[in-house]
């Protein structure tokens, strides 16, 4: 739906987890599996872009705080 409000990163991840669980459950009709895959792909891309934007914001804030070089945002993974 084009008029949908953008999801938060956390909401996107939660939806992705739900999609993965449903797909792992198996016994899905082909059409439903394709719908879930398509939705999951879009959510994954949206979440990836949100992470990249957050990383850029962190780097800018670190530069403003007087850091000589931007340090990449690190996750636990």
CATH number of 9-64: 1.10.287.1040
Q: Average pLDDT per run of 10 along the chain, which is 77 residues long?
A: 71 95 92 96 95 90 69 64
d(CA 53, CA 12): 15
**Confidence (pLDDT) at 64:** 78
Residue 34 near residue 14, CB atoms below 8 Å: no
- For the chain, which residues make up each domain, given as ranges? 9-64
Whole-model pTM above 0.85? no
Q: What is the DSSP string of 12-61?
A: HHHHHHHHHHHHHT----HHHHHHHHHHHHHHHHHHHHHHHHHHHHHHHH
**Confidence (pLDDT) at 46:** 94
**Confidence (pLDDT) at 1:** 42
d(CA 35, CA 28): 11
């Amino acid at each position: 739906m084009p008029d949908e409000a953008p999801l938060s990163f956390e909401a996107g991840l939660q939806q992705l987890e739900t999609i993965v669980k449903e797909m792992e459950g198996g016994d899905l009709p082909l059409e439903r599996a394709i719908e879930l895959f398509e939705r999951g792909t879009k959510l994954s891309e949206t979440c990836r872009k949100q992470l990249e934007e957050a990383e850029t914001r962190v780097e800018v804030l670190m530069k403003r705080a007087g850091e000589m070089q931007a340090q990449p945002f690190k996750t636990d993974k």
